[in-house]
Amino acid sequence: MKVLSKQEVISFQNFSYSYPTKRNVLIDINLKVYKGEVLGIIGPNGAGKSTFCKSLNGLVPHFYGGTVKGNVTVAGMDTLEHTVAELSTKVGIVFQEPENQLSGLALTVEEEVGFGLSMLGFSRELIKERVKEAIEKVGLKGLERRSPFELSGGQQQRLAIATVLAMKPEVMVLDEPVALLDPIGKYEVFSVLKELIKEGSTIIIAEHEIEELAYLTDRILFLKEGKIISLDNSRNVLSEISKLREAGIDPPSITELTYELEKELGIKFDQYPIKLSEAVKLYSEVLKIK
């Protein structure tokens, strides 16, 4: 298991938030995220996952208004004291909808990837360099001159990731990035994320694809009705089967199976598998197959 660095990148202190039209969407959030960490966020719809993501770059509260208590500090910036534009240099968000987060201004993939940098007024030379790098990283090489609107969902989401990468933020946030993608699109996006994780990026990802999340995350934040239910390493959170079920969340199938087998056979396992390889190992032994 990865040893987390001690360098704090994100800090929530007694943070509570209400939208103008919906109260208590986040209640008393206290947590820290460290450099190089991958934090997953799970919870039923309405738990506050999206709001949590948007409070990392100031959209909450600057874009939506509403009432705030406490504060959020990201890469040394207090989100209440800085504009979304300023925070965009430190935090990049990839949203759920592949087509609707495209700028609409860029005529080609290249220009879309450079969009954020053009908004910040960087020079054309710098933009060219960064764009080339980002496009390679997400595997869209060869598609530079295509219209962003001609791409598949998976390609568009990778394009969004590239746009964010080009801005070289300290934290990348993904709000249900694969919810609307087909299996191949999901695979493409998760592959890119795996690469970024290997390079030590700090990533926050809210998702319902809990089985995939188990492969990516160091810790998982479990939210329900705006409150933190658990914040612990992935294995611990995903093994709390009854807590997950109470919130209406399906644990990873193999984890749930192990829990049920424990009950059925009256035995106890040291730890539950959260990845397929772990389950294969466990069951090879359990079934006493030689």
Partner 1 sequence: MRNTIIKVEDVWFKYNEEVIALKGINLEIKEGEIIALIGQNGGGKTTLAKHLNGLLKPTKGRVIVKDLDTKNTPVHILTNIVGYVFQNPAHQIFTSKVYDEVAYGPKNQGLSQEDIKKRVKMALEMVGLIGYEDTHPHDLNYGQMKLLTIASIIAMQPEVYVLDEPTSGQDHNGRRAIANLILKLNKEGRTIIVITHDMKFVAQVAERTILMANGEIIGDSSTRELLLNIDLLEKAAIKPPQIAQLCIELNKKFGLNFNCLTINEALKVFSQYIKKKEYLL
Partner 2 sequence: MSSIGTSLLRRSVIIKETLIHKADPRTKFFFFLWISIWAYIFYDYVLTAIFLIGIIILAIIGKILKRILLSVAVTVLPWMAFGVPILSVLFPWNSTLMYKIEIFGWQIPFYYEGFAWGLTWPLRIGVCITSALLFYLTTNPANLIALLFKLKLPFRFIYAFAAAVQLIPLLVDEAGTIYQAQLSRGLRTDVGIIKRIWNFLILIIPLTLSSLTKVQIRAIALESRGFSAPVIKTCPYDIRFKSIDYAFFIGIIMATLIMIYIYIVYGFSPIVHLKQYLISG
| Residue 165 identity | L
**Residue 63 near residue 83, CB atoms below 8 Å:** no
Q: What is the DSSP letter of 61?
A: I
**Residue 278 near residue 260, CB atoms below 8 Å:** no
Q: Which is nearer to partner 1, 111 or 240 (CB)?
A: 240
Residue in 38, 53, 203, 254 binding partner 1, rule: CB under 8 A: 254
Report the alpha-carbon distance of residue 132 to residue 227 in Å, rounded: 41
Q: How many CB atoms lie within 10 A of CB 82?
A: 18
Q: Which is nearer to partner 2, 97 or 232 (CB)?
A: 97
Q: Which is nearer to partner 2, 103 or 284 (CB)?
A: 103
State whether residue 199 is helix, strand or coil.
Answer: coil
Cα distances from 249 to residues 122, 203, 207, 235, 281, in angstroms, run: 44, 22, 11, 15, 25
Which does residue 249 touch among partner 1, partner 2, none (CB within 5 to 8 A, set by kind)? Answer: partner 1
Decide the pairing of beta strands 8-18 and 67-74. Answer: antiparallel
Is 280 near partner 2 (CB under 8 A)? no
Structure token pair of residue 53 = 């993501």
Which does residue 261 touch among partner 2, partner 1, none (CB within 5 to 8 A, set by kind)? Answer: partner 1
Q: Which is nearer to partner 2, 146 or 243 (CB)?
A: 146
Cα distances from 205 to residues 171, 189, 200, in angstroms, run: 11, 12, 15
Backbone angles phi, psi at 98, to 5 degrees: -60, -45
Is 153 near partner 1 (CB under 8 A)? yes
Which does residue 83 touch among partner 2, partner 1, none (CB within 5 to 8 A, set by kind)? Answer: partner 2
Q: Which is nearer to partner 2, 97 or 278 (CB)?
A: 97
- Positions in 154-213 near partner 2 (CB under 8 A): 163-164, 167
List interacting residues with partner 2 (CB under 8 A): 54, 57, 59, 63, 83-86, 88-89, 92-93, 95, 97, 99-107, 111, 114-124, 127, 147, 149-150, 163-164, 167
List interacting residues with partner 1 (CB under 8 A): 44-46, 96, 152-153, 179-187, 208, 211, 248-250, 252-254, 256-257, 260-261, 264-265, 276, 279-280, 283-284, 286-289
